[in-house]
């Protein structure tokens, strides 16, 4: 069961793409949120990353949620909403 889940997360979508959509970005409180919904069994899985430039270093926190939605844009919007919550709750400790 876990093997099938990981395979669906990291395999291509079968339509000639690499299994990822175009990124949607948002700036929030000094952080860059990059929503990258992934196709998963006819749905779109909520995933992406949060970045912050600290000096010359870009810190990155990547996450994939179990949430899936039928629409790519809705999954991107949900990722941005969740990322904002994480930033509000954890701030820069996201990168620890």
Where are the chain's structural domains? 2-95
Could you tell me the two tokens for 30? 């000094």
Could you tell me the two tokens for 93? 């400790």
Query: Tens digit of pLDDT for each residue in 46-78?
Result: 999 999 999 999 999 999 999 999 999 999 999
pTM, rounded to two decimals: 0.76
Cα 71 to Cα 45: distance, rounded to the nearest angstrom: 9
Is 3.30.160 the CATH classification of the domain at 2-95? yes
What is the pLDDT, as a whole number, of residue 22?
Answer: 72
DSSP-assigned letter for residue 22: -
């Amino acid at each position: 069961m876990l093997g099938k889940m990981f395979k669906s997360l990291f395999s291509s979508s079968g339509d000639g793409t690499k299994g990822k959509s175009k990124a949607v970005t948002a700036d929030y409180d000094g952080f860059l949120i990059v929503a990258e919904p992934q196709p998963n069994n006819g749905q779109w899985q909520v995933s992406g990353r949060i970045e912050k430039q600290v000096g010359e270093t870009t810190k990155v926190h990547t996450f994939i949620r179990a949430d899936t939605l039928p629409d790519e844009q809705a999954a991107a919007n949900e990722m941005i909403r969740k990322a904002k919550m994480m930033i509000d709750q954890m701030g820069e400790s996201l990168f620890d």
